[in-house]
Every structure is written in structure tokens, then in C-alpha cells.
A and B are shown apart, each in its own frame.
Chain A
Amino acid sequence: MTAETIIQSLASGLLMGLLYGLIAAGLALIFGLMDVVNFAHGEFLMIAMYATFFLFAFFAVDPLLSAPLVAAALFVFGAVVYLLIVRFAVRAKANAGMVQIFSTFGLAIVMRGLAQYFFTPDYRSITHSWLGGKTVSIVGIFLPVPQLFGALTAILAFVALYFFINRTDFGRALEATREDAGAVALVGIDKNRVFALGWGLGAALVGLAGAIMAIFFYVYPDVGASFALIAYVTVALGGFGSVFGAFAGGLIVGLVEASTALILPPSLKSVGIYAVYLLVVFIRPRGLFGSL
């Protein structure tokens, strides 16, 4: 193992980590807003990837152009999921935690079933796109362009999210609703509307990630499942309730995954991520930046 290979794989780990952060951002946002973990988050990613793929396959729209469309579609989808399912799940008087977990889990299973039914279990991929398959060389390190683009998008998304949460009225409404959903009703903020928009925003973020992922990753009905666990670990590592914890969590997960792949066989690369998660929560039971 030369220094070059180490730097090379850490660099790709860093890019992947930023993308993991983007995938996890929506999950963290929703949890921070209303203490609900969306167990269908991976399936949100899956439908975003399919949407990107079909826009390409039927209308030859490049993923770069379809990304905003897919994000907008996911925004609507997320808000609808909140209004149809989650709104009722959070009202449950008995077994509140369990109802939350299993109502979104059930949704995940339905979505996976629908994808198998309509799209078949076949693996699909976007064969040619503006960025696909290209690499750039920066001081001797080769970086795949789609991942590089994804990483930059992730950074921009987090910056935008920061300003959005801290500088806009809607962001303030989000924060206020999260602090005290009862009190905001008194000042005329509709709690359900804020939650629905929060779910929409969370889904739009994962939609953006899905559109980029579709450039360089296979699309199939179970694709969400493999990234969902990474997203949960990313959010928990950063600490539930902290959107920027997800950013840090993503970076750590990406770097740990890349370093594990250097030492262990590739099939064991996730073991490193899991081990780091356990290590962190055993020392800090609320994750790195968690407040809850």
C-alpha cells in the first residue's frame, strides 16, 4: 500500500462522505423538527433514483437537468406522506414510538413492493450522461466527476440549509415549532403546515441526492435499503436533532468506509462504519453533536 493509494481512497471516501451527508440531511431535518425517524428514507432515495432514470430513459433528460425536477417532485411526495400517514402516526396514544417506526416501515415495504411490481427487480443504469464516467486529476489524484459534483452539491445544500433555517421566516417557524408546537399555534402558525413543509424539504434533499446517485449507481427496488442504514448511522453519529451533525457524520462515515476498505476485504467495508458508530455512542450516548 503506497501513500498514493491511501490518499486516493481517502479522497474518494471524502466525496462519498459528503454525499452520505446529503442523503442523511433530510432524515436529520425531519427528526430535529418532530422527533420522528422516517424509516422509509431509503425508499425516498430509491424513487428519486427511479425518477431520474426514467426521465433519462424516456425523455433523454440529463440527470443534471432533472435533479431540480426530481427534488421538487419529492418535496410534494414528502408533504403528502406527512399529511396521509405521519400526521396520524404522531397522534397515537398507545405505543407512540412503535407506531412511528412501523407506520413508516410499512410504507417502505409498500414502496419497495410497488417498485418491484412496476419496474421489475432488474438493475438499471443511466448509460451516458454529461458527467458519467468522467474523471479529473487534481495534483495526481483522480476524482470521479459525478461524485465530485455530488460533494459540491452537498456542501452548497448544507450552506443553503443553514441560511434557510437561520435567516428566513419559514426557517424560524420550523425552529419555533420544534421548540414548542403548542405555543406556535397561539401565534397563528399552523403546526401541520410547518410539519408538512418540513417533510417536503427533507424529501427534496434526499431527492437531490438520489438524482446525483443515479448517475453512477445502479437503480433497483432494494437500492434504498443499503443506503438507509448508512443514513441512520450518519444521523445518529452526528446526533439526532442536529442537521449539521449529519454533515459531520457523513464525512466520518465516508472516511471510515474508505479506510476500512484499505485494510479489510471490500465485503467488510461497512464493519468499520458500524464499529465507529458503536464506539461513539458508547462514549457519547447522544452522538457527537446531539442535544436530545
Chain B
Amino acid sequence: MDTDFAQRRRRDLIVAAVFAVIAALVPLFVKDVYVQNIMVLTLMYAALSQSWNILSGYCGQISLGHALYFGLGAYTTALLFTKFGVLPWFGMLGGGLISAVIAMALGYPCFRLRGHYFVIATIVIAETALLLFQNWDWAGAALGIDIPVRGDSWLKFQFARSKLPYFYFALVLACIAWFVTWWLEDSKWGYWWRAVKDNPDAAESLGVVVFNSKMGAAAVSAFLTAIGGSFYAQFVSYIDPESVMGFQFSLLMALPAVLGGIGTLWGPVLGAVILIPLTELTRSFIGGSGRGVDLIVYGTLIVLISLARPEGLVGLFSPRRKETAR
């Protein structure tokens, strides 16, 4: 590519490093547990949305069923730990691999579908998994799983007293998801995905193996999403099907990317930084007195941004990026 593009990529990398360092320093000044909690969630959603963006944004296969992979990650870690004593780190890796394999197994029939047929298939599959988990007695059925917390331990990745270890792990996860996206953007896969998104038929005729590139995007996306799910299970130490596999999660993963800028490198991060604190704050400040206000604020924001800024909020920061981003 031209030097302009190479320059932008270098600049992106530097900006990301600076942001990561600043973020890492924030807990030194912010001791409030409530605020730290919001920061952990923001980083987690940034990571999740970045992962979702790989399949839905770059490759254009809109999934509204990513809660499936999130839930699989959470359940694999929690089940392996509570039933067999397997450390969460292995559970995390296992959950990621299982999700990647399942994503490809589901992708095999689903990637033939286009448009709304595909979107509905992703919703329906995640809902089916949700119902099965709700009826699966061994996995705790609808009541879910309580992960016993016995003091602070990096080995078992559980911390009762401080949120900080979770914060740093979430930061690392967000950085990894960002870096993977950054790296893929300029790889063979990145170009294939954008070609598949813009015009699958044309891409096919130019020698892009459309099917394989969709499968690749699904596997990477599902793997990273499941790692986020494993993290969440450790963070909240209690999971049930509705809270890790519900449709809201699929939506919550997609929204930061949609608002920030779908198919862009910075969109998910920007979207999460705006959306998650806003949601949490409206929920705790207004939510208590008048139920549903958080939903009203949230929904209005979605409608306004999607109508006024279809390319996402990143467009506000760098008008030049609009051309390359799509």
C-alpha cells in the first residue's frame, strides 16, 4: 500500500500504546470501587465488540448471536473448574478453542445464507443454545453455577478483595483484541474480508475463497469472544444461562462497534468508552427512581447516531479515515 497508509498504521499503533499506558495508570488515581467496576466492564466490552467487529464489521456477516460464544467461554471455564478442578487459564483456552470449532461447524451451513436469513439464523442458534443450557441439569440448568471464591490467587484467577487484577486482565484482553484487528487489517485476510463484505460475487470471481475467509473470521471472532466470556465468569463468579447467553449480550457486543464505527479499528473502543459508562451511570443515577429511563436514553442514542452518523462516531475524529475504513 501507499506510504500514507503505512504511516497511518504506525500512528495507530503508537496512539494505542499511549492509550494503553494511560489506562494502566488510571487505577493509581481512581480508587473508587464503583468506578473501577465500570472501567473493567468498559474494557471488557471494548474487547468483545472488537472481536464481534472482525466477523460482522470487517467480513460483513452480521451476527446477533455472539452471546453463544461468550456463554460457551463462561460455561467451559466455570464447569471445568467446579466439576474437575481445572484451572481457569486452561478453561479459558479450552473455551476459546471450543467456540472457534463450533463457530466453524455452524458457519459451514450458515455462511450459505445471506442478509436477514443469516442474521435470524445467528439469533435462533444462540437462543437454542440458551434453552438447552437452561434445561441442562448437570450444568446447573436455569440456576447456573456458583464459582467458589477462596481468597486472592492469580493461579485460580479469582480475587475477592480487589478489582485491580481484573482491570489489568481486561486491559490486556482489550489490547490483544485491538492488536489482532490491527494486524489482520493489513493481512491477506483483512483484504479478503473487506472484499467479501463489499461484494461477495466480485470477490469470488477475483479468486478470493469467500467461504474460507468467512470461516476464518468466524473462528478468530468466536475465539476472542469466548475468552471475554471466561473472563466475565471469573469476574462475577456466578453465571446462569440468561446472564451470559441472553440476547442482550449479543446486542451489547454489537452496539459499541455500531456506534463507534463498524468495520473500523477504533470504532469498538470509542463506542465502548462512550456507551458503557453512560449505560452504567444512567442505570444507577436515574434507573433507581424511574425504571426504564436507562433504556430510553440508550435507545434514543442508538437511533440518533445510526441516523446521523451511519459511518460511526470515529468519523468525527478523522474525516480521512472514512475512505479507508470502509
Contact = CB atoms under 8 A, between A and B. Distances in A.
Interface residues of B, number: 48
Interface string A132-160: 00000000000000000000000000000
Interface of B: 62, 109, 112-117, 119-121, 123-125, 127-128, 131-132, 134-135, 247, 251, 255, 258, 262-263, 290-304, 306-307, 310-312, 322, 326
B62 A101 contact: yes
Contacts, number: 139
Nearest to A118: B292
B302 A109 contact: yes
A195 B301 CA distance: 25
B114 A117 contact: no
A240 B116 contact: yes
Interface residues on A, range: 35 or more
Contacts of A31: 116
Interface stretch (A5-13, A55-63, A278-286): A278-286
Nearest to B290: A117
B280 to A, nearest CB: 16
Contacts of B135: 265, 267-268
List the 9 closest pairs (A to B, CB-CB), nearest first: A113-B295, A116-B292, A106-B302, A109-B299, A110-B299, A106-B303, A113-B296, A117-B292, A113-B292
A34 to B, nearest CB: 13
B62 A98 contact: yes
Nearest to B134: A267
Nearest to A292: B115
B112 A285 contact: yes
Contacts of B296: 110, 113-114, 117
18 contacts: A92-B307, A93-B310, A94-B310, A102-B302, A103-B306, A106-B300, A110-B296, A111-B299, A113-B293, A114-B296, A121-B291, A267-B135, A268-B131, A268-B132, A278-B121, A281-B117, A282-B109, A285-B114
B109 to A, nearest CB: 5
Nearest to A267: B135
Contacts of B112: 282, 285
Contacts of B292: 112-117, 221
Contacts of B258: 98, 102
A89 interface: yes
Contact of B299 (A88, A92, A108, A240): A108
Interface stretch (A45-53, A71-79, A200-208, A228-236): A228-236
Given A110-B300, A113-B295, A116-B295, A102 B131 contact: no
Interface centre among B117, B300, B312 (most CB of A within 10 A): B117
Given A99-B307, A121-B291, 20 more contacts: A94-B326, A98-B258, A102-B255, A102-B302, A106-B304, A106-B306, A110-B296, A111-B299, A113-B295, A113-B298, A116-B292, A236-B117, A236-B120, A268-B135, A271-B131, A277-B121, A278-B121, A282-B109, A282-B112, A285-B117
